[in-house]
Amino acid sequence: MELLEVRNLKKYFATPSGPLHAVDNVSFVIPQGKTLGVVGESGCGKSTLGRTVIHLLEPTSGSILFEGRDVTNVSKAQLKKLREDMQIIFQDPFSSLNPRMMVSETVAEPLKIAGGMSREEVEKKTKQMLEMVGLASRFANSYPHELDGGRRQRVGIARALALNPKFIVCDEPVSALDVSIQAQVLNLLMDLQRDLNLTYMFITHDLAVVRYISHDIMVMYLGETVETCGADELFEHPLHPYTKALLSAVPVADIHHKEQRIALEGELRSPINPKPGCRFAARCPYAKEICHRDSPEAEEIFPGHMTRCHFVREINGL
């Protein structure tokens, strides 16, 4: 069952030089209980996409369907109800928590805003949430500055889960954590997904992390999707030149492995009022005249494997 479907979503920001195309014509589907990993270099629009999907930012155009319902344009009352089903875990667990609120108050806040629960029920639910994310009860009256990064992120996860959501945007939730703590938080998220049948959009720039947690992966470049397929398929058979360059930069823990790094040259195109053509053309070693003139269409090369490149078959010998 498809929990979330996004069609031709666009998010532009006004600038003195023209509209900045942060997210441009992005489409994807996430089935119930699955994880879509979203990867790409900084500034490609990953976080803007996640925030637009859950209405922290309003879309410029396109449509968002949740459980088959169009939730692109919703009233304040509808948005309040939608907040119970769609939540977000932020990247920085320190800045996303109110420094003046204790852990128990932070987790209880969404319950109080939603209403319909007595004080005793709120306290009971808060305690359950802290236990669910592995936080000892002794931390309930602690403030964020008294916790380490891993525990702070667990508070953020507990807050996101408080209203029993079905869909969660994980906006680089482990990038600010130590490697050993990253593994703990990733395993927690996967356990919660299994136990609660949660659906994730997992945003990251760490390819090792995204392969570990994702069922499908979408690669973004300057606001556009350039490749989408299953996680294993992407790592075994990358098709787009940008995806190939990304994967070539992943270090391999093998002294006998001969590194074949693909060094990208050229300047990034401006996302402000971009000209027609492939946005990766200026850095692509395979680019030809048509790449600078015409924007490529998304094409399904293999079943479930979509990419956006004029010469994808020629490049991969297909």
The pLDDT of residue 275 is 85
pLDDT confidence tier of residue 115, bands split at 50, 70 and 90: confident
Nearest to 234 by CA among 253, 251, 214, 254: 214
Alpha helices in 102-148 (DSSP H): 103-114, 119-132
Phi, psi of 157 (to 5 degrees): -70, -45
pLDDT bin (cut points 50, 70, 90) of residue 30 is very high
The stretch 255-260 carries a mean pLDDT of 62
Which positions ≥6 away from 258 have C-beta within 8 Å?
none
- Output the pTM of the full model: 0.91
CB 305 within 8 A of CB 233: yes
Contact residues for 79 (Cβ-Cβ < 8 A; gap 6+): 55
Residue 268 confidence (pLDDT) above 90: no
Q: How confident is the model at residue 217 (pLDDT cuts 50, 70, 90)?
A: very high
178-210 pLDDT tens trace: 888 888 999 999 999 999 999 999 999 888 889
- E strand or H helix that includes residue 25: strand 20-31
Q: Answer whether residue 250 shows pLDDT above 80.
A: no
pLDDT at 255 over 80: no
Of the candidates 210, 257, 216, 250, the one whose C-alpha atom is nearest the C-alpha of residue 233 is 216
Region 74-82 average pLDDT: 88
Cα 126 from Cα 132, distance rounded (Å): 10
Count how many Cα atoms sit within 13 Å of the Cα of residue 318 in the half-sphere of its side chain. Answer: 13
259 Cβ contact partners less than 8 Å away, ≥ 6 residues apart = 248, 252
Query: Domains in the chain, start-ordered, CATH in brackets?
Result: 2-85+165-239 (3.40.50.300)
